[in-house]
Amino acid sequence: MYELLSSPVDYGGLTLKNRIIFSPTTLGVPEDEQVERLARIAAGGCAMIIIGDVPVGKHGFGPSLFTQKGFAHYQRLIEAIHAHGCKVCAQLHQSDSDLSAMLKCVPGMLTHRLGPDDLRKRLNDAVGPYITGLSERKVEAITASFGEAAERAVAAGFDLVQVHGDRMCGSFSSAVFNHRTDRYGGSAENRARFAVEAVAAIRRKLPELPIDYKLAVRQEDPHYGNAGVLVEELPVFVPLLEEAGVTSFHITLANHSDLSDTIPPAKHPAFGAEGCFLPFCDRVRALTKKPICAVGGLTDPDFIEEQLKAGRMDCAAMSRQLIADPEWPNKVFDGRAGEIHRCVRCNKECLGGMMAHRGVHCIYERKVSQ
């Protein structure tokens, strides 16, 4: 019944056993719980799990590929996921948060004068001045570090890497934040240079490695997203990224605005529908023959199968749905789709849990425990 959804696919040089991918998600839970939950999602039948926010630098937020402890952490995750025949991708990430701006927020956070939304807004406001003021020498060192991190990722056992096209890549791409007047700013070609150099650094180090790119798209009329690439700029960015070495695209809305835009609830004014970011996929599909992964409110197997048949996407990425029901793929492929715990996109325990620093969970977990 779900012939395309259950079929293998060549995802930029890596064969996936089906078309379901767990999209990069910061779960915000202790390591043992993270391993257990990702192993459960892998056992549920998805083809690949993307580990989000793997720092490219030797010093950054989250476990580092360059320390013994961090390297062992990723090896442990990979082993637990591979045990279920599931591939693992490292989302290589460079933060665009200004450390000095963060330090200024510490007193307000400690006294609870600043909540999570306040902190996010202040850090987002600091992005433009921070990336605009980075020296060319520093920028070149950061883009080169993507290649070094990819080598470490492969050594740890990752099957492919994804360049996080939001955060610093997305901020350099966006005229909202990037006000540079050198070769990294101004025209769309120049604003694409940071991302292109990051991808090229990986390709030089690892000529055969599949490189996925999280392509963060910004739209106007109405305005959503601040980082990333304007829809009208895709004809510039997509060919340049392909030429640099990208083998597949993971397409979503650009970040640095309300989290409820990039993780939209069912009642979102613009992105409340199933497959809410698919129009961005359509624009990219017209520009490339590389595999495309869609994300955003994908829960219904019938809908997903229809979009695969229509050629709008080659894979479907889910986060909230696989958190709500890790067994979604197995249930669909075994003819038990009626048993799925369908994500209702309420954002109560997933986005709400993340913002309250208690970890990403689901209302279904609470119902089971009651």
Active site residues: 167
Rounded Cα distance between 306 and 126, Å, is 42
What are the structure tokens assigned to 308, written together?
Answer: 């695969």
CB 86 within 8 A of CB 46: yes
Q: Which two tokens stand for residue 42?
A: 């892998």
DSSP β-bridge partners for residue 318: 22
Alpha carbon of 62 to those of 8, 59, 65, 209: distances in Å?
32, 9, 10, 24
CB 128 within 8 A of CB 96: no
Q: Which of 238, 225, 316 is nearest to 19 (CA)?
A: 316
Provide the token pair at 252: 């979503």
Distance in angstroms (rounded) separating the CA atoms of residues 100 and 294:
36
Cβ count near 266 (within 10 Å) = 16
- The answer to whether the bond into 207 is cis (omega within 30° of 0) is no
CB neighbour list of residue 84: distance below 8 Å, 6 or more residues apart: 39, 42, 43
189 vs 22, 132, 203, 233, 284, CA distance in Å? 31, 16, 20, 9, 17
Query: Half-sphere exposure of 93 toward its Cβ, with a 13 Å CA cutoff?
Result: 24
Q: Which helix (H) or strand (E) holds 272?
A: none
Burial class (CB in 10 A: 0-12, 13-18, 19+), 291: buried
Evaluated on CA atoms 278, 281, 282, 283, the torsion sign reads: positive
Do the Cβ atoms of 93 and 54 come closer than 8 Å? Answer: yes
